[in-house]
Chain A
Amino acid sequence: MVDGWLDYTLRTVALGAALLGGMSGALGAFVFLRRQSMAGDAIAHATLPGVVLAFLLTGQREPYLLLGGAALAGGAGVLLWIAITRWSRVKQDSALGIVLSTFLGGGVLLLNLVQNRPGAYQAGLNHFLFGQAATLLSRDVVLLAAGALGVSVLLLLFWKEFQLLSFDRAFGASLGWPMQRLDIGFTLLVVAAIVLGLQSVGVVLMSALLVAPAAAARQWVDGLGAMVLLAAVLGAVAGVSGTLLSALWTGLATGPLIVLCASTLVLFSLLLAPRRGLVWRQLDRLAAQARLR
């Protein structure tokens, strides 16, 4: 009986992690190619005040509500970032740093406010910092599945547009495509994926789940389609293995474990991927030296 329950919980949580990893991996491929890896980090940090504010205002810990708040705050962070880079001399990297630290600071302030309330149940909001996949329920998995499906459909529908956005934005603009709108649309898609990952991975580390599978996949393949698929698979592998490890060592936060699994994949790929891998490169160099001698 207990075993059956455990299996069921584990299955739920692992399925959720696989869906999340696959979705972030696929989207992350574009984020990686567009060189917006750190933007993912800033967006993820920026969602925290939304989560806490949603809880403070409504007093409920309904996940949809909290994630809705997170999405609003993340979206606001993105718009502020774009506004600062467009309408001031502040460069992209500083603008990201400002958005990230200001929003996270606000989130920490609010979180502390909640925790200091006499008698208030702090609602497991701390889990949003480092993630606790064990708290995933089957309806969260349904939400993740819907999110993954939505992301796949949108990626297929706008494949050409997003491809052009990643590789040759100017050419897209010269064709008369609304590149600015596509850019904002894509970034909001990333916000959605990040928000869906908050429960399992947390605001601090969610960006790694976007970037790491993509960086690993890039070492093995060259085509965009293959890269997106491989990144999705690697993301799912990292998600599932991290979650299972966290379930084995109860109490350890899931986010860091998932990130370490993904980082291991990256390290392996950087060293050993055929042609690009550092090990092969070093061997080639040694062989070349031997020939010259």
Chain B
Amino acid sequence: MGASLEIQLIAVTAAVACALVGVFLVLRRMALMADAISHTVLLGIVLSFFVVQDLHSPWLLLGAALMGVATVGLVEALQRSGLVAEDAAIALVFPALFSLAVLLIGLYARNVHLDADVVLMGELALAPFERVLVFGLDLPQSLVVLAGVLLLNLLCIGLFYKELKLSTFDPVLAATLGIAPALLHYGLMALVAVTAVGAFDSVGAVLVVALIVTPPAAAHLLTDDLQRMLLLSAGIGAGSALSGYWLARWLDTNIAGSMALMAGVWFCVIWAAAPERGLVALLRRRARQRWQVAERVLALHLRSAEEEGSTNLVDRLPERLRWEPKFAHQVLRRAEANGLVQHQAGGLVLTERGRQQADYSSSRITGSS
């Protein structure tokens, strides 16, 4: 395998692993917990490094994951104390722990390859240089780690799919059915921590947040179905990873940052273009509703004029309904095309359908049957 292919494989594996757990975080409105965890795992890594004195020891992963869970526990304990609100609890805990980590590195670990910049931005480009032998295959270490994390995520989500789904959408029902929501919650958080550690080792904390939050949010704009959301989210994550890689390669810059940026770009594209929930669809729906309302107002107006027996309304529409003459003309054209009004010798009259429409609207407005 060439280095380029290996980097792309690592990036895609990380993206899919993050996107899968991210779906549940986004649906449970805990996206910012990902931000907190991805920062505090650094402290876990630093502390376990002081114990084992080896940057490549698997104990570092364990220490980091434990610190991730501890972060969640600390945030929730603070929140439960009632002294500060949830958002403030997060905003207090993770900067403190992250600062501690940065300072410890600055004080005691300067000579080691453990650098706050790297932690933030990752060094994906260097990932292929550290290799391990697995079943006689010579593979990049981070690919092996991330593949393990991905498998773990797939396994946990597959095994506890029903429980996760229920406790995400209806925690009360889940609790009554005997599914322990707290256990599941901490399990999910541990999974997020492990994923964050595995991914951030090669791709940095920024990217972890980007890949956990952005693809699931984009997928949520496309579907209401959980399974489909998981699939779409993984796909969008992989797409962000690949497009980010090639953008970085083209510009000769940091891959992790570029992937995070591309995730945001894809989110914006999907937000703009999504059928039903996209911005364009939203604006079109609003425009359509505006014309519909105008046509109904016109029909109502003609109907009441009919009952009063007044004629030649078209010229007076602008002043009576306070419409711009141009707008009034457009409404007339649309109403005619939709068969609500027609031209007769005496001027504009309602069709039978227009009359029904007007009567229906007026019954809806007055509330009479």
Contact = CB atoms under 8 A, between A and B. Distances in A.
Interface of A: 32, 35-38, 40-41, 84, 87-91, 93-113, 116, 126, 129-130, 204-205, 207-208, 211-212, 214-215, 218-219, 249, 251-253, 255-257, 259-260, 263, 266, 270, 276, 278
A97 B95 contact: no
B152 interface: no
Contact of A101 (B81, B206, B282): B206
A106 B257 contact: yes
Contact of B277 (A37, A88, A101, A259): A88
Contacts of A211: 88, 91-92
Interface string B104-123: 00110000000011001100
B213 A38 contact: no
B87 A215 contact: no
Contacts of B147: none
Contacts, number: 201
Nearest to A270: B83
A126 B117 contact: yes
Nearest to A245: B103
A100 B34 CA distance: 12
Contacts of B19: none
Judged by DSSP, the binding face of A is helix
Interface in B1-53: 26, 29-32, 34-35
B213 A97 contact: yes
Given A129-B120, A205-B98, A105 B103 contact: no
Nearest to A97: B213
A38 B84 contact: no
Given A97-B209, A130-B116, A105 B92 contact: no
B251 interface: yes
**Size class of B's contact patch?**
35 or more
A189 to B, nearest CB: 18
| Residue picked from B95, B107, B265, most chain A C-beta under 10 Å | B95
| Residue picked from B26, B29, B87, B106, most chain A C-beta under 10 Å | B87
Given A97-B214, A109-B248, A266-B92, A38 B32 contact: yes
Contacts of A95: 217
Nearest to A264: B96
B99 A101 contact: no
Contacts of A38: 32, 35, 87, 90-91
A259 B93 CA distance: 11
Contacts of B200: none
Interface in B51-110: 78, 81, 83-88, 90-92, 95-96, 98-100, 102-103, 106-107
Nearest to A96: B32
A252 B102 CA distance: 9
Contacts of A263: 92, 95-96, 99
A146 B204 CA distance: 37
Contacts of A249: 107
A226 B273 CA distance: 49
Contacts of B102: 130, 253, 256
